[in-house]
Amino acid sequence: MDLFKPYQCIHLNLAEQETWLEPLRYDQGYYVVLWWNEIPIGHLFVKPGEELPPPAFEKRVTHAASWVLQHYTANASAQANTLYDLRNAFRNIFASHENIPAIYDVSVVICTKDRADSLRQCLYSLTNLPHKPVEIIVVDNASADDRTRETARAFPQVTYIREDRAGLDIARNTGAQAATASIVLYTDDDTVIHSQWIAEVYRTFNDPSIAAMTGLVLAAELDTEAQWIFERYWPFNRGFIDKCYDQTFVDATRSKGIPVWTIGAGANMAFRKSIFTATGYFDERLDVGAAGCNGDSEMWYRVLAAGYSIQYNPRAVVYHRHRETLSALKHQIFFYMRGFTAAILIQYKRFRHRGDLLHLFIALPKYYTWLLLRGFPLYRGRYTTIFRELHGIFSGLIFYLKNRNTPSNHS
């Protein structure tokens, strides 16, 4: 059995250098994120042992960023044949600069439990941004000791709230209710924040039709097999071009199940505070402490069903530290699928969109039958977590049947 070789994360700013100047090591892989100054414009993977001399590497870089070039030029036929052409094109696109304020009408909410070291790193990056939110709220969701409180209070800019009722969506609701700004912005305690995050989030809401948004989540590291599997097959990364999820998206997908899980990740999401009054708060039966996960996507489902729009902005960036071990990854994926199943059934009960049931009871079994056959007999890589996924689906069904009449506490 081959041993996993780590992937080094490289951030290549094409505005400053044409290519990566150091030789690529043969005994490891590379995850290369492409930037134009503070704007992410693409990525690519280089496998361990893959021979990639500079001309071939430049060609891969050019190809990876050309899709984003088409987006920013609004020209589907726009192409750059060389890295030189690509750099000139992006230089022209991003030539202008705007004056932006130092403080924004944004409340950042971080829900955390017993991860003081991760929280400290997150808060350090957040409190040192060039553009500040009006407040940072740490919701301590029933931590076992005082380390979370002590960590939060080491930062004078942070408001600390203790929430003794265990459950991520309970903590999210506590944070939203405490927030004083017009925009409530969520991230996780295992993230590090990019310098333009606050500014880009707020800029998204300049469009009055947008009720919620998500942003780009990049892998902070890919040192272990578990982190690589997560990034390749369960990524929070939703790409490098803007996307709008609106009534057109709902109408096009309702018959087969609206894929709200593609919208983004709870580690980088924001809402107008007014939307909680309009559609209700997070369903407290979901996510950690209850069903497992998917409180974020269920909330997005309600926002869309109410006729509002959600924007994905890839320039609003955070870096996420994925689970390091396979056992932790399998545990995480089990609860993903448990919450995913419960959320679909909750959505169906609330809105009676038949496509949700078709997805859960027809499309999903077909997909997992294909995975079981394709992964047989070794079940490595993508198939490493497959049995925990199936366990999670069945567990979610049982959870829903037991809790379907429990108040959601979202309204």
Q: Is 348 helix (H, G, I), strand (E, B) or coil?
A: helix
> Residue type at 124?
Y
Contacts 24+ apart (CB under 8 A), 383-388: 384/229, 384/326, 384/329, 384/330, 385/229, 385/329, 385/330, 385/333, 388/330, 388/331, 388/333, 388/334, 388/337
Residue 272 lies in a domain: yes
Residue 1 lies in a domain: no
Distance of CA 322 to the CA centre of its chain: 11
Contacts of 60 (CB under 8 A, 6+ apart): 44, 46, 52
Tokens in use for 70?
């088409």
In whole angstroms, give the CA distance from residue 39 to residue 32.
14
Q: pLDDT (tens digit, 9 = 90+) per residue, 8-30?
A: 999 999 999 876 666 677 788 99
Contact 227/323 with Cβ under 8 angstroms? yes
Domain count, the chain: 3
Q: pLDDT (tens digit, 9 = 90+) per residue, 82-139?
A: 999 999 999 999 976 666 788 999 999 999 999 999 999 999 999 999 999 999 999 9
Q: 299 and 353: one domain?
A: no
Q: 373 and 244: one domain?
A: no
* C-alpha to C-alpha distances, 353 to 255, 294, 350, 366, 398, nearest whole angstrom: 7, 18, 9, 20, 21
| pLDDT for the residue 97 | 63
Domain membership of residue 52 as a residue range: 7-93
In whole angstroms, give the CA distance from residue 52 to residue 10.
15
Residue 59 lies in a domain: yes
| pLDDT for the residue 411 | 46
Q: pLDDT (tens digit, 9 = 90+) per residue, 378-403?
A: 999 999 999 999 999 999 999 999 99
Q: 31 and 157: one domain?
A: no
| Range in 47-51, 336-340, 345-349, 366-370 with the lowest mean pLDDT | 47-51
Q: 239 and 114: one domain?
A: yes
Residue 409 lies in a domain: no
Among 304, 326, 348, the domain boundary falls at 326
**Element (H or E) spanning 158, and its range?**
strand 158-163
- Which ranges in 280-325 belong to alpha helices (H)? 295-305
pTM for the whole thing? 0.94
pLDDT-derived band at 2 (thresholds 50, 70, 90) equals: low
